[in-house]
Amino acid sequence: MSRILLKAILGLLMRVLYRPKVEGAEHIPGTGPVILAGSHVTFVDSLFLALVVKRQVFFIGKDEYVTGKGLKGRLMAWFFGSSGMIPVDRDGGRGGVAALMTGRRVLDEGNVFGIYPEGTRSPDGRLYRGRTGIARLTLMTGAPVVPFAMLGMDKVQPGGKGKLRISPVTVRFGEPLDFARYEGMDRDRYVLRAVTDEVMSEVMSLSGQEYVDMYATKARETKAA
């Protein structure tokens, strides 16, 4: 009920303020497990994604978003929980494993799992090298990957976080990618890299972003140095 209420209220506001245009929604299977993989430019990407997809989209978020104290903390926990976020401690030594296993559970239950292969928000709006977790997920579960891109988000939230601005948004989905030919090869690092690079290539085609063959975390560290 909380998800329906949240989607009804925010969906109305989104349609009025941002006039979102959705392209390729027919590529998302109506049933069964599917991975939605796209670029990550702003803090609110997952919210916009959840609001334009008919099926519920689950995604990983920092556990600090739902552990706050007081009224604000409870409201944030309700908001993120209703929007499909599953809290995971990603800062610990096994954060990557926890996120991977959570995604696998969501897919094994036949649901939609949203993921950003870059692993973090882009520091400058460009598309960075993908982490191979996306490849492990699709090879372990057999779930198809539907690439997507959100156009205009850099104008909605310049710099990736902070105050939202009113600007049109387009969410574009590509055709499903099937990696059944690599079944049983989820431990082969060359296969994992090939699958990940294919997904990122499709995301780049949809978004029109400039590609940088470097991890976004490394680029962020270099920029801060």
- pLDDT tens digits for 92-130? 556 578 889 999 999 999 999 999 999 989 999 999 999
Q: What are phi and psi of 96, to 5 degrees?
A: -65, -40
Instruction: Report whether 121 contacts 42 (CB < 8 A).
Output: yes
**Residue 105 has what pLDDT?**
95
Q: Is residue 15 part of a domain?
A: no
Instruction: Report whether 132 contacts 193 (CB < 8 A).
Output: yes
Percent pLDDT > 70 in the chain is 84
Query: Does 1 have pLDDT greater than 60?
Result: no
Q: Is residue 67 part of a domain?
A: no
Q: Is residue 170 part of a domain?
A: yes
The mean per-residue pLDDT over the stretch 149-162 comes to 86
Q: Is residue 150 part of a domain?
A: yes
Is the torsion defined by CA of 209, 210, 215, 220 positive or negative?
negative
Rounded Cα distance between 208 and 112, Å, is 25
Give 62-66 contacts, CB < 8 A, sequence gap 24+: 62/87, 62/88, 62/89, 62/90, 62/91, 63/87, 63/88, 63/89, 63/90
pTM for the whole thing? 0.88
Query: Does 80 have pLDDT greater than 70?
Result: no
Q: Is residue 25 part of a domain?
A: yes
Q: Which domain holds residue 135?
A: 21-59+111-224
Q: Is residue 1 part of a domain?
A: no
Specify the number of domains making up the chain: 1
Q: Which residues partner with 85 through β-bridges?
A: 59
Task: Go through the chain and tell me how many residues it has.
Answer: 225
Q: Is residue 92 part of a domain?
A: no
CB atoms within 10 A of CB 71: 8
Query: Which ranges constitute the DSSP H helices of 21-123?
Result: 45-52, 70-82, 95-108
Q: Is residue 208 part of a domain?
A: yes
**Residue 14 has what pLDDT?**
77
